[in-house]
Amino acid sequence: MGRLVALGVLGIALALLGERLLALRNRLKVSREIESIDLPNCHLIKGIEAGAEDIDILPNGLAFFSAGLKFPGLHSFAPDKPGGILLMDLNEERARALELRISRGFDLASFNPHGISTFIDDDDTVYLFVVNHPEFKNTVEIFKFEEEENSLLHLKTIKHELLPSTNDIIAVGPMHFYATNDHYFSDPFLKYLETYLNLRWANVVYYSPSEVKVVAEGFDSANGINISPDKKYIYVADILAHEIHVLEKQPDMNLTQSKVLPLDTLVDNLSIDPFSGDVWAGCHPNGQKLFVYNPNNPPSSEVLRIQNILSEKPTVSTVYANNGSVLQGSSVASVYDGKLLIGTLYHRALYCEL
């Protein structure tokens, strides 16, 4: 009798594991293939060879790139080179991406930048917020951008127990931000288990010098985050749930769910057109190709444009798609004055004239 019970328990456990594996394959969209949709006026950006995971563009056309992200289990074309922040002036005819100098005293050797966000203060001071993973830990670095010197002055390093697996960030003040945690845990094995079991414990955190709190939770894997031009709504990409969440910002900085937009792809970072309010998303059509890198079958790229996201029926269009022959693993798409920049998790970056 005891053996029958043990056998039954084993059978249930194997069935559960099989169901979870099938669910994970569906969340990764392992069987999805795409057809290329080209734009006529595009070229790869010189100086970006090992990823531009996130991009943020100032109103004056200066674009910041977060370059060289390295993560356990993630492919890298430059595993021994520290990451950096690059700058590109989109007003120049032959714009180039150049690495910014960072002030002395900051640990450049372990710099591993991920999501980024800019904030312009009332006195026109530009702050750059960077999610950093030194030695695969989690910090948020705040810099002051010194345009005349083409450099970043490091102001502060933030660590907090509510930021265990930080992915992306949106600045809402000189020392204030919302950040996504793509996992509840920081330990790599527990992260994998959390993903495999689909616990949906990922969250969004609000940080200020006087208060740090979880303001939204229940995500499969909270990833990109941004804010509407009127500052009333926060947009969060849930990459493994294939969704964009629209959250209304409250006076106490808490977030309440307004709507969820389902999509047919793994949505990474989100950028906002400041004039139209359109949401631009860098996406991964097939997540397995992204994490199990095969140069003969590389990860593909996809850029979506979402118009009227607050309406009952937003318009979702695919602006760019590539099977990996040109661009592998698109993670972000940002627009400025008829120009489109597409960054990737660990590959190249593309500049297009729309």
Q: Tell me, yes or no, if 245 is annotated catalytic.
A: no
User: What tens digit of pLDDT does each residue of 164-189 get?
Assistant: 999 999 999 999 999 999 999 999 99
State yes or no: pLDDT of 50 exceeds 80.
yes
Residue 10, pLDDT score? 47
Sheet (strand 339-344) strand order: 41-44, 350-353, 339-344, 330-336
Q: How confident is the model at residue 7 (pLDDT cuts 50, 70, 90)?
A: very low
Cβ neighbourhood burial of 351 (10 Å; 0-12, 13-18, 19+): buried
User: What tens digit of pLDDT does each residue of 218-273 get?
Assistant: 999 999 999 999 999 999 999 999 999 999 999 999 999 999 999 999 999 999 99
Residue 8, pLDDT score? 46
Torsion of CA 90, 93, 98, 104, to 10 degrees: -70
State yes or no: pLDDT of 5 exceeds 70.
no
pTM of the model: 0.94
Q: Domain boundaries in the chain?
A: 1-31, 32-353
Q: Show Cβ contacts of residue 95 under 8 Å, excluding neighbours closer than 6 positions.
A: 88, 89, 351
Start-to-end C-alpha separation, the chain = 71
User: What residues form the annotated binding site?
Assistant: 53-54, 116, 167-168, 223, 268-269
Our measurement of the distance from residue 329's CA atom to the centroid of its chain's CA atoms, rounded to an integer in Å, reads: 12
Of 194, 314, 202, which Cα lies nearest the Cα of 263? 314
Cα–Cα distance for residue pair 213/204, rounded to 1 Å: 9
Catalytic residue, chosen from 114, 133, 242, 284, is 114
User: Cα-flanking dihedrals φ and ψ of residue 246, to 5°?
Assistant: -105, 115
In the chain, the percentage of residues whose pLDDT exceeds 70 is 95
Residue range 32-353 in CATH 2.120.10.30: yes
User: What tens digit of pLDDT does each residue of 279-298 get?
Assistant: 999 999 999 999 999 999 99
Amino acid, single-letter form, for residue 172:
V
User: Cα-flanking dihedrals φ and ψ of residue 264, to 5°?
Assistant: -110, 35
- Name 216's bridge partners: 204
User: What residues form the annotated binding site for Ca(2+)?
Assistant: 53-54, 116, 167-168, 223, 268-269
